[in-house]
């Protein structure tokens, strides 16, 4: 039976990229009625240093954002990663299965470690093994993610296959990435060659789910574009990454195809398209923001929800981990 798992790092606040590329898909998967497990991956977040008080706040706020966007803790399992130790236990075993060379080829590692990789944390290097463990601790079959995580999901399959092969078992499934929608890679509003990220130092590069209507409108107004009007066909957006990005965002928010958006605004100037986009973004995001702020009034309730989710997650992962320990040859005498 299909089992959906995915996660987002509480390394900042939710962005429009996280919403369109991931969270909106999570809600769809839940509403399709499958088994859905969603995780605030706080252990991943600390691969880059996080202020402890901020991390706690961001984790609660992200949980509130998930619920406000439509994740129902009665239908989906929602929890933070560090409360279910199966993730790090399996990650250690995967550290011993995965190869250094595989990790070194990951573009996220190269991007985040930058030129001074000697100074990056060991955790940042091993990140994809923990991600594989997140998924495979539940034997999840489907993982909705943005386009940037495709490489890590391929690695997850490589790790699963190598584990199965090394131990002569058919144990871990080959997980399918689910990369869907009109905005699987939302780009920075300041630089069409970089993806929008919650950890980008520039707040102007992204729309946050906590932004109010005025700042959303201002950020879209200032978003980088070229001087050309909207083309007549989608083809005309080739080699215009910033323009293409705004069209994709519009399409994803409106539930339209990018081709239909271009057809509707053909020949129009970005000066008039941007206010329409801002209006649409505010209409779609502000109800979520309002609900998220309301939920944040009761942080103890959020903690209770995460605690209950962690118990449910643990109940699925622990028996799988016990089997893994048996397969690997670890004595389990209590
Ligand atoms: P960080 O900068 O800390 O890595 P992030 O914004 O990249 O933060 P992640 O927690 O790494 O967010 O990713 C959570 C999910 O959001 C993943 O499924 C990822 O693919 C998706 N995602 C992240 N950025 C984008 C984006 N710009 N467009 C579409 N999906 C995205
Ligand atoms: Mg990321």
Asked whether 197 lines ligand 1 (CB < 6 A), one says: yes
Rounded to 5 degrees, φ, ψ at 64 are -60, -40
The 10 Å Cβ neighbour count of residue 178 is: 18
The answer on 149 and 255 residing in a single domain is no
Residue 290 sits in the same domain as residue 162: no
The reply, when asked if residue 299 is annotated as ligand binding, is: no
Bridge partners of 5, per DSSP, are: 37
**What pLDDT score was predicted for residue 334?**
85
Residue 11 Cβ < 6 Å to ligand 1: yes
165 and 235: one domain? Answer: no
Size of the chain in residues? 334
Both 272 and 305 in a single domain?
no
Please measure the distance between the N-terminal and C-terminal CA atoms of the chain and give it in whole angstroms: 31
Q: Are residues 91 and 160 in the same domain?
A: yes
Instruction: Identify whether 303 is part of a domain.
Output: yes
Helix, strand, coil: what percent of the chain each, to 5?
A: 60, 10, 30
Closest atom of ligand 1 relative to the 41 alpha carbon: 10
The verdict on whether residue 82 carries a ligand-binding annotation is no
Pair 303, 284 in one domain: no
CB-ligand 1 contact for 87 (6 Å cutoff): no
17 is in an annotated binding site: yes
Low-confidence ranges of the chain (pLDDT < 50): none
Report the number of distinct structural domains present in the chain: 2
The reply to whether 259 and 162 lie within a common domain is no
Tell me: do 65 and 94 sit in the same domain: yes
Identify whether 333 is part of a domain: no
Strand order in the sheet with 3-8: 76-80, 35-40, 3-8, 142-144, 176-178
Residues 6+ apart with CB under 8 A from 156: 128, 131, 132, 135, 136, 143, 175
Identify whether 204 is part of a domain.
no
In a domain, 217, yes or no: yes
Instruction: Please state whether 94 falls in left (phi above 0), alpha (psi between -120 and 50) or beta.
Output: alpha
Question: How much distance in Å is there from the Cα of 189 to the middle of ligand 1?
Answer: 15
Per-residue model confidence (pLDDT) at position 1: 83
Residue 9 counted as an annotated binding residue: yes
ipTM entry: 0.99
Going by C-alpha positions, the residue among 234, 108, 245 that lies closest to residue 183 is 245
Does residue 221 sit in the same domain as residue 127? no
| Residue 122 in domain | yes
Q: Which residues are catalytic?
A: 112, 195, 198
Distance between CA 305 and CA 302 in Å, rounded? 5
Per-residue pLDDT, 144 = 98
Sign of CA dihedral 28, 30, 35, 36: positive
DSSP string, 142-179: EEE--GGGHHHHHHHHHHHHHHHHHHT---S--PEEE-
Quote the domain boundaries for residue 222.
211-294
Q: 191 in a domain, yes or no?
A: no
Shared-domain flag, residues 254 and 305: no
Q: 184: CA distance to ligand 1 center in Å?
A: 10
Atom of ligand 1 nearest to the CA of 48: 3
Residue 237 CA, ligand 2 centroid: distance in Å? 26
Say which CATH number the domain at 275 has.
1.10.240.10
Residue 201 placed within a domain? no
For the Cβ of 185 lying below 6 angstroms from any atom of ligand 1, the answer is yes
Q: Is 199 inside any structural domain?
A: no
If asked whether residues 93 and 227 sit together in one domain, one would say no
Q: Does ligand 1 have an atom closer than 6 angstroms to the CB of 322?
A: no
- 293 annotated as a binding-site residue: no
CATH number of the structural domain spanning residue 12: 3.40.50.620
CB distance 149 to ligand 1 below 6 Å: yes
Look up residue 107 and give its two tokens. 């573009």
- Which amino acid residue places its CA nearest to atom 13 of ligand 1? 8
128 and 261 part of one domain: no
57-99 pLDDT tens trace = 999 999 999 999 999 999 999 999 999 999 999 999 999 999 9
| Residue of 5, 6, 8, 184 to test ligand 1 pocket, by largest number of atoms within 8 Å of CB | 8
**pLDDT (0 to 100) of residue 104:** 96
C-alpha span between 207 and 184 (Å, rounded): 16
């Amino acid at each position: 039976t299909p089992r959906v798992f995915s996660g987002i790092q509480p390394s900042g606040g939710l962005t429009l990229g996280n919403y369109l590329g991931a969270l909106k898909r999570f809600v769809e998967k839940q509403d399709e009625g499958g088994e859905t497990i969603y995780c605030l991956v706080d252990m991943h977040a600390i691969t880059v240093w996080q202020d402890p008080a901020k991390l706690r706040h961001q984790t609660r706020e992200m949980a509130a954002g998930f619920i406000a966007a439509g994740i129902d803790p009665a239908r989906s399992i929602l929890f933070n990663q560090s409360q279910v130790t199966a993730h790090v236990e399996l990650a250690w075993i995967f550290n011993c299965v995965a190869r250094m060379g595989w990790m070194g080829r990951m573009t996220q590692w190269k991007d985040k470690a930058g030129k001074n990789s000697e100074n990056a944390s060991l955790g940042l290097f091993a990140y994809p093994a923990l991600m594989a463990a997140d998924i495979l601790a539940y034997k999840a079959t489907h993982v909705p993610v943005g386009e940037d995580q495709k490489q890590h999901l391929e690695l997850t399959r490589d790790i699963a296959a190598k584990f199965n092969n090394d131990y002569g078992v058919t144990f871990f499934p080959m997980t399918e990435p689910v990369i869907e929608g009109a905005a699987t890679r939302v780009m920075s509003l300041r630089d069409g060659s970089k993806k929008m990220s919650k950890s980008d130092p520039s707040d102007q590069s992204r729309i946050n789910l906590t932004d109010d209507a005025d700042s959303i409108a201002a950020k879209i107004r200032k978003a980088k574009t070229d001087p050309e009007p909207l083309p007549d066909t989608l083809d005309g957006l080739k080699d215009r990454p910033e323009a293409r990005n705004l069209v994709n965002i519009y399409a994803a928010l409106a539930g339209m195809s990018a081709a239909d958006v271009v057809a509707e605004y053909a020949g129009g100037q970005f000066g008039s398209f941007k206010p329409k986009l801002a209006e649409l973004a505010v209409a779609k995001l502000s109800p979520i923001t309002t609900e998220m702020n309301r939920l944040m009034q009761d942080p103890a309730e959020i903690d209770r929800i995460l605690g209950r989710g962690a118990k449910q997650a643990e109940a699925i992962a622990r028996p799988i981990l016990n089997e893994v320990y048996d397969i690997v040859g670890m004595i389990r005498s209590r």
